[in-house]
Structure 1
Amino acid sequence: MSDSRRSSGPLLSFTKMHGLGNDFMVVDAISQPFRLRPETIRTLADRHFGIGFDQLLVVEPPGLPDVDFRYRIFNADGSEVEQCGNGARCFARFVRDQRLTNRKVIRVQTAGGVLELKVGKDGWVTVNMGVPELNPAAIPFAADSRQLVYPLEMDGEIFTLSAVSMGNPHGVLVVDNVDAAPVETLGPKLERHPRFPARANIGFLQIIDAGHARLRVFERGSGETLACGSGACAAVVAGQIRGLLGKRVDVELRGGHLVIEWQGEGTAVMMEGPTAHVFEGQLRLPAETSPRRSRRGKDSRQNP
């Protein structure tokens, strides 16, 4: 046996999915042992040398008595995060497609709280994203008191944004035109602004009318994605508290549309949108970062 084969571990089964172009590698860690180091996640996320994805989603057994699964999310840079709305929809479809559950309403435990996922027809999923947090200390965001908008200084300029947590921190700026917004340059700077001690997802929101908005999001740890579910929820909350948006909004992202509904403070944000299965496959990881033994018998080819 060659040195490369001696250093290789067993096969890991995975599924590639996306929600409006926000794409994921999804792993069942219930039916097979699973462990990945951050550097391995970064390699797998690479779109030239790996599988390519915005986030890695992991299905684990529940850690609470009243939930069905634990849902873990890792960004393309290997960091673990609290929330991913598009991922939650794909998670719901995945556990049903893999016959891990036959329930149409699924409760999952995340690092940001418990989510309720409802599976509908044609791959559409409705997610109860929970009650948004606007208290600065809980977002977290450095401010003495809660405000509708906050001024942030960056490179000698003042930018005004709203701060919202949907289980993960968001900053939302209102812009005249998302196509001309400086997402690639301003996004990473605001993501790491000192007033966001845990970093943040930065949304650039264009108001069309009270029921229609356009949005681009620079995601913490992943960069700009084609869609961000939690970002769409945060944007609607920010727009509504500023009197710019209504209670039900069609949010147009670069990858497609989400419907976001929020009845106001103290109520949960509901998100509805599609999911898509791309392919299934297996990969062989280095022994030091791979699971001990895979229980699945699928062949090693990727099937479209």
Structure 2
Amino acid sequence: MLQFSKYHGLGNDFLIIDGRSWPANFMFANPDPEWVRHLCDRHFGVGADGVIIILSPTLEGDWRMRIFNADGTEAQMCGNGIRCISKFLADSDKVMVGHKWKIETLAGIIVSELKENDMIYVDMGIPILSPHDIPTRLSVGQDNIAIGLIETNGITWSVAAAGMGNPHIVIPVKDAEDIDIEKFGPLLEEHFAFPTQTNVHFLQVIEHNHLKLRTWERGVGVTFACGTGACAALIVAHSLGLSDKEAQIDLPGGSLLVNWETIDNHISIIGSAKAIFDGVLTPELTPIVSEVAQTFNEIEKVEMVEENIPTFEKVLCTIVCVNGCLHPDNCPSLKARINVSDFLNKHSLDEMLALANDSIESRLRAKSETDAQTSI
């Protein structure tokens, strides 16, 4: 039985799987997209906008995040997702207000910090303005951002683009509520101007320090909030002279405070993240486990072909990987693989459920202590 936790950042909800320890660190390093789609299905699965897996770091981070959209595709970065796993880590690890994490993502290392009252600060890094790096086929305009005109279904949109490790198109409009986002969102997401598709945002300016945003997320659809999208919206709004460098951005799920620093060019967000519930997945929702067990049972002896990587039988995980698996995507330890297989074969579903329940109770106790401390 596999334990998971469900968290949300302003209504953008995620299933979080803690893969920091054996055997999950190995089993969920490369999840099956179909499995992700099944989990995120709100009728036949648990239901979520995405799945986040926390893994051991491979670079200079404290932990590594892999995030998968509801359609099974992997995202480079997610501001709401970062806040959610930060709150998850705070709840699990009993840290104090002011604690910081360095989280490895496909967009680089992101730093987050626990604030009071379930608020999480995230340094989102330096925005990407180069069309080549966003990527987009739009050209840089006089405001030093990628801008252009895009036509969909006979309507021409004046758009701008920015990157936050993932691509965003921002469209200033008079009233965001008047836009048929279900109709135009998918058309703009897959527009030729964005070779890897894009997140789509309709931006309404209320005041120079107060913006409103509606979002169609790439690979997901309409969502209540998008942290990287809020950053892109502020970048575009300020570059076009529509806003200050700091603004409150209202999204359907709540508000974020977004700031674009003049000194170091970093952009940051502050917003809430909250736990919804903890649970365990039935075997029907964890087909990957049975597949891994079957694969392990067929392994007798495998050697690494890469230079300077020892054979499986020469690697002692308890010594070499004391701080986490060094090669979670291709674990070089036959013993670790056999241990996973033994664990799955020797423990009944009831025993694994009992272990999961013990873990959930431990998390609930830790969360209660953290909540009491952050509310002081």
TM over 0.5: yes
Q: How many residues align?
A: 293
Deviation at 1:288, TM superposition (A): 4.5
Q: In the alignment, which of 17, 21, 24 is matched to residue 27 of structure 1? A: 17
> Quick one: percent identity of the two aligned structures?
35
Please give the residue correspondences for 1:136-151 in structure 2 after superposition, counting only pairs within 5 Å.
Answer: 136-145=131-140, 148=145, 149-151=147-149
Whether the 8 Å CA contact 1:42–1:77 is kept in 2: the answer is yes
Q: Which residue of 2 aligns with 1:299?
A: 357
Distance 1:24 1:41 in 2: 11
Deviation at 1:154, TM superposition (A): 2.1
Q: Which residue of 1 aligns with 2:219?
A: 221
Q: In the alignment, which of 180, 191, 194 is matched to residue 192 of structure 2? A: 194
Is the counterpart of residue 15 in structure 1 residue 10 in structure 2?
A: no
Please give the residue correspondences for 1:54-133 in structure 2 after superposition, counting only pairs within 5 Å.
Answer: 54-64=49-59, 66-99=60-93, 104-133=99-128
Q: Which residue of 1 aligns with 2:129?
A: 134
Q: Which has the higher strand share?
A: 1
Deviation at 1:158, TM superposition (A): 2.0
Instruction: Identify unmatched segments of 5+ residues in structure 2.
Output: 294-342, 345-351, 365-376
Distance 1:144 1:249 in 2: 26
Whether the 8 Å CA contact 2:40–2:47 is kept in 1: the answer is yes
Is the counterpart of residue 246 in structure 1 residue 244 in structure 2?
A: yes
Q: Which residue of 1 aligns with 2:37?
A: 42
Deviation at 1:95, TM superposition (A): 1.4
Q: TM-score, normalised by structure 2?
A: 0.73
SS in 1 for 2:132: helix
CA distances 1:9-67 after superposition (whole Å, capped 9, x unpaired)? xx111000001111010010112413331111111111111111001111000010x21
Whether the 8 Å CA contact 2:35–2:287 is kept in 1: the answer is no
Whether the 8 Å CA contact 2:139–2:148 is kept in 1: the answer is no
- Say which structure, 1 or 2, has more relative contact order (CA 8 Å, 6+ apart): 1
CA distances 1:142-168 after superposition (whole Å, capped 9, x unpaired)? 135455421112233321111100110
Whether the 8 Å CA contact 1:279–1:302 is kept in 2: the answer is no
Amino acid at match of 2:64: R
CA spacing shift, 1:219–1:265, aligned 2, 3 Å = farther
Distance 2:283 2:359 in 1: 15
Flag the structure with larger Rg.
Answer: 2
Distance 1:55 1:265 in 2: 34
Distance 1:260 1:143 in 2: 25
Deviation at 1:132, TM superposition (A): 0.5
Deviation at 1:266, TM superposition (A): 5.7
Distance 1:49 1:211 in 2: 42
- Give the superposed CA RMSD: 2.3
Distance 2:263 2:360 in 1: 46
Q: Which has the higher helix share?
A: 2
CA spacing shift, 1:99–1:185, aligned 2, 3 Å = same
Amino acid at match of 1:74: F
CA distances 1:239-258 after superposition (whole Å, capped 9, x unpaired)? 00000010110000000110
SS in 2 for 1:190: helix
Amino acid at match of 1:77: D
SS in 2 for 1:297: helix
Q: Which residue of 2 aligns with 1:281?
A: 279
CA spacing shift, 1:112–1:100, aligned 2, 3 Å = farther
Instruction: Identify unmatched segments of 5+ residues in structure 1.
Output: 1-10
CA distances 1:253-281 after superposition (whole Å, capped 9, x unpaired)? 00011000013496111100001101000
CA spacing shift, 1:78–1:192, aligned 2, 3 Å = same
